[in-house]
Amino acid sequence: FVGDEAAYLNPEAALETIRPIADYLAKHESVSLLLVGSTAGDITDESTLSLSQARADAVKKTLCDDLGIAESRIHTDPWHISNAGYDDGAAASSNRKVTLISADTELAQNLMNNH
């Protein structure tokens, strides 16, 4: 993702990265996913959580609108990694991502129930 945005750094590469996930979901209709958007930095506030949520929503939009996966199978959640620091930018840039978790796992259930 672009820094401080929910826009893909390279939209074509993002689509090609996400396409195999959609292909898997199309073949395994009982599988649902939790998409956890993330940011990193020294402060956790509403703006960082909002950006994390927007990143998860961007991947959900690609899966559902562009690749045909039912919205009911894709859940989203924001995450922020606190105290990662911005001195060299590496921590922040490495956490501009969305992590996929099977929605049926205990971890996913706990995350979804806590938000």
What is the distance between the alpha carbons of residues 101 and 48, in angstroms, rounded to a whole number?
A: 21
Of 72, 79, 82, whose CA–CA distance to 100 is shortest?
79
What is the distance between the alpha carbons of residues 63 and 24, in angstroms, rounded to a whole number?
A: 11
Strand pairing of 74-82 and 97-102? unpaired
Which residue, chain included where needed, has tokens 């959640």?
Answer: 77
- Model confidence, pTM: 0.87
Largest CA distance in the chain: 44
pLDDT in tens, 29-59: 999 999 999 887 777 778 889 999 999 999 9
Of 25, 31, 105, 72, whose CA–CA distance to 113 is shortest?
105
Residue 21 has a pLDDT of 97
Is the pLDDT at 80 greater than 80? The verdict is: no
Beta bridge partners of 75: 34
